[in-house]
Structure 1
């Protein structure tokens, strides 16, 4: 059976750099940091007191108050990004039985879970829980709400694989279209973990930067002085569509999704394999699925979280897979600007790859000050300033706790 071609016909984003996909791109181009002191709670006593929050976010700008109160903030973010992508794709008139939603979230409704548990613990032991507590908390509430709002009756579920969640949702949506189980899929991911439990938990793991005096300089992938990731929040969304279906309705086509790969480190629940073996495998799998060679890739948006171990392991893997072609690549980590959106990271980074191809401009890895002697200086990490270049093929890597690895590959559309 021949697989159907899949293209991208809509984009949406709400991020620490901007609350639409175009605003997000402007922030990426300019090399802006989204990191600032936390406003969602009093972080005075926390080891990390900053994050990449969505700036000036007010749910009342997007939802009727009664409606917004029934949704956790991660679902709100998901709906906002999905609505933008759906409007961008202009899906009026499509067969809604053939449109599905597959969404990614690594944690789900953490804000709601924390609030209800604290309220119960501070009470007299009487279980007085909000009737919307469970629907707000569960990770599939974003995909469900998107489907309900737009009456999409195709495949609908959530993928949860830590920080690889939304890249896994993209691959799942890709395969449903390729296998003729849907014509259009709304996919992506969202996360909202800037809470006491989220920040405190990652601090306990010693995973986050503690550069509290200069938060805007804290996320510095590939820099010798990197000291952990910066927590981010938001959502990214893509409308994927079968190529002939998109052509027949005259849809705007951003790019073609040509391949995806998955693998496991099978090494440690939180630490990456220091040799990057699982990452080698996932990129090889993605290239094989796409039917291309390493020489065909122009840009890799890396996982690049700014952790001492993870960045080095990924670079080793890139050099193993790409060989001499690694020196022809542009590599960048947009997490240097957005922070790490956990389960939403793959979605906003896929959007970044597509827009890099649209504009022939590679967004930078900001906050580079000191070369890491462990990393090959001949590699082009796109440090500090966006670089013009023709980008015909872009790869996006995302990896998650548990050893989950995912790569997706996009290409400029060809007839």
Structure 2
């Protein structure tokens, strides 16, 4: 015979039944509410098999090709790729060792790369800048900042930084403030600033694409929507990043609209091309070998300083100058046959003025165009076309007859803006300097 439950036992039993019932209801509800995310990729992703490149072989930098996935499918796939659990040491600080002009070009290349790749976001820009510096030190990439940023720019596909070959530079121009901030990030990176989070990453991509190169690299971190990778094996370790970069930065003509440093360089490239074309034409016109190699440097976009070959003749110098100046409304072209006297800046000093072989100046705003020759080097039938140097003329008396354009010629050859006659007469130095390059009657 069963013994009836005591009141306390009845209470415990009822509580147990209620608890079981509650769990039966709440348990499934909690499971549903906290169900794990199931990653579903509607299209199968086929990446090449991963390969760890041995130390004896420099890894190949693959052109950027993407798996054909929608952004949502790419994000889903990227979420399945685990982050590396290996150490992620910070890169060493980098200090640019080139001259001022090369530093200016490097800074603007870096600024363009960070701004167009990461947008006007300082955190993202710093991450991209670190990748550029990592590539700069790695044997698999170009040895200059501009070379790294614009690698593959001549290809419609395959450029390493997409903005450099997809037309972004012509479609969008940053605000002055955005460009200034990007240059500040670039300048800091080239002066030792390190973005530790990306370590020695050499690759990155946004989370809505899947590049084929991903399978051979280790995923190490994420910065906003960008995922950062380094090579697997020895080539992703600090020891692999020991190359010394070059200090001479190339001119990137694409940046001329944004960068004064590259605008001046682009003008020089254009002038050199015109000079080379003209010198070859002059050589063939004379029936000689096209050995009239011409070297030039640019002070700014409107001034070209040239060293002429030793066998240069007077014929063709005007054509050489006008081709170098192109369609510029204002242009100065100055040439020397003595390379040791060729100027690299203006104003010219007295020795440079005395050695000047040819000068051309154009100012369409003033309807002015003139060519002058050093008649000790190039014989001219018309003496008004001759440069009279300080070596043959120590002073210009106020009463001496002077060609109508003598004052302008003095200004154009010295590179100094002509002062008023009153100011000149009050300064002996100014008078003698102006006399150093005057046209005679």
- Whether TM-score is above 0.5 comes out as no
More helix by share: 2
Q: TM-score, normalised by structure 2?
A: 0.23
Q: Name the structure, 1 or 2, with higher relative contact order (CA <8 Å, separation 6+).
A: 1
Greater Rg over alpha carbons, structure: 2
